[in-house]
Amino acid sequence: WFLQSNESIDAAIGDVLSKPWLPLPLGLKPPSLGSVMGELERQGVANVPQACG
């Protein structure tokens, strides 16, 4: 995750949010939306699309 571009991260998160029934890669536990947004902000990703928009 940390080595990928923002576009790749956005795509991966988009896939997870649009297909919540699929298992996450690498056996990750499903993160809460808040923790995902917090982590993206921590990494400096400013233009995070809102899932409920």
Domain coordinates of the chain in residue numbers? 6-42
Contact yes or no for 33/41 (Cβ under 8 A): no
Tell me how long the chain is. 53
- The predicted structure's pLDDT at residue 43: 75
Taking the whole predicted model, whether its pTM rises above 0.75 is answered as no
Distance of CA 16 to the CA centre of its chain: 7
Tens-digit pLDDT profile for residues 2-53: 555 667 777 777 777 777 666 655 555 666 677 777 777 777 766 655 555 4
Distance CA(47)–CA(6), nearest Å, equals 10
Most distant CA pair in the chain, distance: 29
CB-based contacts of 46, cutoff 8 Å, min separation 6:
none
